[in-house]
Amino acid sequence: MSPVIGILALQGGVAEHERSLGALGVKSRLVRRREHLTGIDALIFPGGESTTMSKLLVLGGLYEPVKQLLDGGLPAYGTCAGMILLASRVENTRDDAVSFGAIDMTVKRNAFGRQVDSFESDLTVTGIDGKVHAVFIRAPQVIECGADCEVLARVDQGPAAGAIVAVAHNNVLATSFHPEVTDDTRVHELFINRFVGA
Ligand code: GLN
């Protein structure tokens, strides 16, 4: 049976992920309330503003049920602000911001310097043939990740060279960049094939 992928739809780039999944012929469901979590096979955390999403998750009573699902092994993919929400440690955020600790890593919000605040770069991503054109928009950077966490991509040129920008831990994937704003569906495909298991 084809999986149903939830997209956290409190704020941010929800429609873009819907479009990428649609292009792959994969079913998606917008998750705004607790009851929308029932029966999903995975959850995508979109880009946007992580501190706002954090606030809305708590206010709307979604934080605890989502945390339980992630702790129970629900596959997940976070882009940009979504990566921040999946991290176990976040630098440069509000004191009251929550995150899920689904990937054992430290991320720094808005980590790229002023001159590369938003930028594009062609990356090699483990598991994908050929380069991926990556769009970074006030992106976080992975400062360090635990022994069980797999680094899938680093920026390989320019002022941000060396920065870790794609990681995986168990069945959770996170990228600092936004494949959903391009027509390239290979990262979503990797997520579904390797992490969700169609
Ligand atoms: N800077 C945003 C944050 O900290 C993330 C930006 C994005 O998702 N494009 O949440």
Segments making up each domain of the chain, as ranges: 4-196
Ligand 1 atom 1 nearest Cα: 138
CA–centroid distance, 82 to ligand 1, in Å, is 8
| CATH of 4-196 among 3.40.50.880, 3.10.290.10, 3.30.2320.50, 3.30.70.60 | 3.40.50.880
What is the distance between the terminal CA atoms of the chain, rounded to a whole angstrom?
Answer: 7
Is the overall model pTM greater than 0.85, yes or no?
yes
Confidence of residue 116 (pLDDT cuts 50, 70, 90): confident
Cα separation, 19 vs 180, in Å, equals 8
Cα separation, 51 vs 87, in Å, equals 13
The active-site residue, picked from 16, 80, 145, 189, is: 80
Angle, CA 116 vertex, CA 113 and CA 121 arms, to 5°: 135
- With a 6 Å cutoff on the Cβ, whether 49 touches ligand 1 is yes
H/E segment holding residue 7: strand 4-8
Residues forming the annotated binding site for L-glutamine? Answer: 48-50, 109, 137-138
Cα separation, 43 vs 148, in Å, equals 21
Residue 180 is a catalytic residue: yes
Q: Which atom of ligand 1 is nearest to the CA of 93?
A: 4
The whole-number pLDDT of residue 2 equals 84
Average per-residue pLDDT for the chain: 96
- Inform me whether the pLDDT recorded for 173 exceeds 90: yes
Q: In angstroms, what is the C-alpha Rg of the chain?
A: 15
Residues 6 or more apart whose Cβ sits within 8 Å of residue 170 = 73, 148
CA–centroid distance, 28 to ligand 1, in Å, is 23
At residue 14, what are phi and psi to the nearest 5 degrees?
-75, -50
Residue 105 Cα distances to 61, 101, 141, 144, angstroms: 25, 8, 10, 6
Strands 172-175 and 4-8, sheet pairing: unpaired
- Inform me whether the pLDDT recorded for 46 exceeds 90: yes
pLDDT digits (tens, 9 = 90+) for 5-39: 999 999 999 999 999 999 999 999 999 999 999 99
- Inform me whether the pLDDT recorded for 94 exceeds 80: yes
For the chain, what percent of residues have pLDDT higher than 90?
Answer: 94
Burial class of residue 141, CB neighbours in 10 A (0-12, 13-18, 19+): buried
Residue type, 46: P
CA–centroid distance, 40 to ligand 1, in Å, is 25
- 14 close to 44: Cβ distance less than 8 angstroms: no
The whole-number pLDDT of residue 1 equals 65
